[in-house]
Structures are given as C-alpha cells and as structure tokens.
Amino acid sequence: MNKYLDISPEVKAALDDGKPVVALESTIISHGMPYPQNVHTALAVEQTIRDHGAVPATIAVIGGRLKAGCTPEEIEHLGRTGQAVTKASRRDLPVLVARGQDGATTVTTTMIIAAMAGIKVFATGGIGGVHRGAETTMDISADLEELAQTPVMVVCAGAKSILDLGLTLEYLETKGVPVIGYGTDELPAFYTRRSGFKVDYRIDTPQELASAFAAKLAMGLKGGMLVTNPIPEQYSLDPDYINAAIDRAVARSVELGIKGKETTPFLLAEIKNITGGLSLEANIQLVLNNARLAAQTAACLAQE
C-alpha cells in the first residue's frame, strides 16, 4: 500500500470483495463548475453510480493525502474553495503531498490514484487533448500521456470541443490508446454528439466494453482505454452554435494571454457565460450519463 494513499472504508470494502468501483475526478468540482452546482453535481454523480450497482470513489488530494473516496464534507470543501484549490496534474503531486496541501485531480491524477488503489474504471466529463494552435504553443494535455501508460478505462463524452480533435486522435493513435465509440462510429465532441472524426471501434454494450478491457489487462498491454459516450440527444447543443461560442471564448483567452492549466477553466466559464448557462446544463447531463455507463461497465468487469 502506498504510504500516502487513503482508501475510504466503503471503497476498500468493495475492492476487497471484488465489487465494482468507479473513480471520479475532483477538478470538475473545483474548476469545472460554479458553486453550488459543482457540489450538487458531484453528489448526484456518486448517487447515479450507486443506483447502477457500483461504489463511487471521488478522488482528490486533501491535506497532502491521496484520497480514493471522499466524504461529502470533503466534496463540499472542494466545491466551496473552488479555483483556490490547486489543479493537480502528475507534476504537482510530489509537492502537494510534501507540503500537506489540497489538490483537485485532473483526468491524469485521477487515473494515477485510481491505479494505486486498484480501481479500473473512471468516469469523467471530457478528457484534455491537443489544444488549438499546439503546433506553435506545444500545449498538449498530460491526460494523453497518462492514457498511454496507466491501466484505467476512462469513460467520457469525448475530448473537450475547445480542443483540436483531429490532432488529439492522431496523438492517441501514436501512443497506442484504443478509442472506443459507445454506440457510435464517430468521436463525440463533449457538448455535441458528432465531430466528423471516426473512432477506432464501435462497441454497443457494457459487457463488450468490459471484455475488451479485461483482454487488454490480461495481455499486459501498457496504458488505458478511452471510451467516448455521446451526450444524450435531448441535451446536445447545436454544433454551429456551440462552435461559435467556443471560437469567441478562445479569441478572448488569446486576448487576455490565458495559458497553461488556466486555459480550460477559463474557456469553460467563458462558454457558460456566452451560452447563458446552456453549456453548464449540458456538462452536468453528460457527466451523469458517463457515470451510468461506467457503473454498468465496472459491474460487468467485476464478473470477468
């Protein structure tokens, strides 16, 4: 057991008994949504996972401890503190732990801590990727490198549509990461169901997802698997409308000189303002949808 890792009693009991567990990130709480919607959503996502037969494990760094399973009070703390909590990627973990500080985990660090705890399935909103203009800025999310090396299945609504989706897929292909479309041949684009880019494989049932990931693990193949699950039709935003909002937000970020780890939180907040909150509702619904699929898949994986 990693001496810096705390597994909650509920999560530990489930893992010890071979029951399904689903990891959840905490950056979506502190940086992805405003308070109190962030806390309400986090608790609703946990309940959705329980409703579909699995145990939720919200992951964060609290007081320098790596947490696999947060209490409601810890979730409230992350939500209220918001962007004052460090957005923690792989490079941040040693310093946060040594200093006894808090950190909200990204896709990258959630995968790392989930793997330490023995959790194989993780539900999130959207992954990071290759940012627009990366050919000059070299702004490429650490999420892609983590997917290439850490054995966790990530269930998401695709890469965030603020990114260069074509280059993101090319990067994942180079790293050998399977990109699966759940019930679709096309990569979902977070707020919308379609992007124009093809995934590697279409899979239509949680059981087949679980079987494919079990085979990957059994063969000892390095890295994770990316499952892209389209936002439910009734919450999908018109592509032209949301892409225009994204373009405005990106232009504003360039104007203000926003860079690095501040980019995604800034763009999400700006898009929320431009759309009058429609993007926030879409974000909430796609996360709940991913939690359902992750719980169902984790339940099947536990039977493999």
Q: Which secondary-structure segment (H or E) carries 232?
A: none
Q: Do the bridges between strand 5-7 and strand 65-68 make them parallel or antiparallel, or are there none, so unpaired? A: parallel
Residues 158, 247, 283, CA angle at the centre, nearest 5°?
40
Is residue 182 a contact partner of residue 203, using CB atoms and an 8 Å limit?
yes
Take residue 36 and report the two structure tokens written for it.
């109190």
- Cis peptide before 36, with omega less than 30 degrees from 0? yes
- In the set 67, 87, 120, 160, the catalytic residue is 160
Q: Which residues pair with 53 in a beta bridge?
A: none
Residue 185, phi then psi, degrees to nearest 5: -90, -5
- Asked if 272 is an active-site residue, the reply is no
- Asked if 160 is an active-site residue, the reply is yes
DSSP string for 72-128: HHHHHHHHHHGGGSEEE-GGGHHHHHHHT--EEE-HHHHHHHHHHHT--EEE-S-B-
Q: Which residues pair with 103 in a beta bridge?
A: 61, 86
Residues with a catalytic annotation lie at 25, 160
